A and B are shown apart, each in its own frame.
Chain A
Amino acid sequence: MNNNNTIQLTYREALKQSIRQALQKDERVFLMGEDVGRYGGAFAVSKGLLQEFGPERIMDTPLSESGFVGAGIGAAIAGMRPVVEVMTVNFGLLAMDQIVNNAATLYHMSGGQVNVPLVLRMSSGIGRQLAAQHSHSWEPLFAHIPGLKIVSVGTHEDARQVLLAALEESDPVIIFEYTSMLNLESEISTNPETVDLVHAKIRKEGKDISIITYGAAVYKSLEAALDLAAKGIDAEVVDIRMLRPLDETTIFTSVSKTHHALLVEDAWRSISISSEISALIMEKSFYELDSPVQRLGGVEVPIPYPKHLEDACVPQKEDIVKKVIKMLHHD
């Protein structure tokens, strides 16, 4: 369904277009990771790019996260603009040492002499029955680390644009993409607005409650907001987008408007992004609150394989609707 201004595409396609554009735009940019070349990417995000850009720029790596993330860091220090794909965040933990002890800290340890303009792309969250090996949401773990910028790609627009913004940064950026959303189709502008790695994004304006969310929960929150609108509740959906550093201003502005805040994320509930934002709201927007801040997060178990249990492990649209109604007492 194309028309002059919009284009219908999948989340996967939007990601691919951004990589392609980045490769075209800057010769220093190259993609590296497990199966990104010949196989076309574990999730087929980079399919065809090897043929278009050649093996110098689309580089398959051994199954060694620590090794190729380290190589990416080295290339970044040497002046390249590497885009390193880590198949899923679950394997990203193998590269944690490189990420924390080199990428995030080198600028500090070199007394400001060495920047690491590395972009790491990781797939996160529940996919489709990929079980506990491949389904976890570890954004909070990475967002904990100073020296990193953490972006969560919750919409097609961002899938199309975030990488380009990340490549403008002179310090390491981790981009979280969502396995469950790859096949999701959406209509976006053929000329989408550029994003910056500073601001959260109000996905839907509202006045009754702020649903503050990110990642795979953004669309679920938007759908919940639609249901709530039918019940007379005008919910605002705030896509945090930047998990580090947080855009506190946008969050506080929204809470000051609605006076109610519900935080929604797929990651395990305790010690999460929501925990942090909840604490920030208490610290800085306490007197704007008309009800306690509430959180909906993942159930604290390894993500199970069966579909119904998998669904039960993360907040769904219905959970969000129910929670909001309870908070606002509109039952």
Chain B
Amino acid sequence: MTEQEIRQLIFQLLKKIAPDTEPEKLQPDDDIRHTLEIDSFDYLQFIVAIDEQLELDIPEEDYGKIDTVKNMTNYIISKKTKKV
């Protein structure tokens, strides 16, 4: 999965959780939750959706590492390559 594809997936899942937001307008360093006004409940749904799509169980202590699109993309890449 390329970086581009991961980013697309993030946008797509965010859009599904919060249909009236525009995730594709997020800058790489924007805080996802604050910028899109996503509450903890929806964020949990988002992380569940990531797991369903990528089989990536993000532990709670790692939530701080996935706060922006850039960080999240890097996090996913690092986790997925480690697995392979």
A–B contact at 8 Å CB threshold (below): no
Interface residues of B (CB under 8 A from A): none
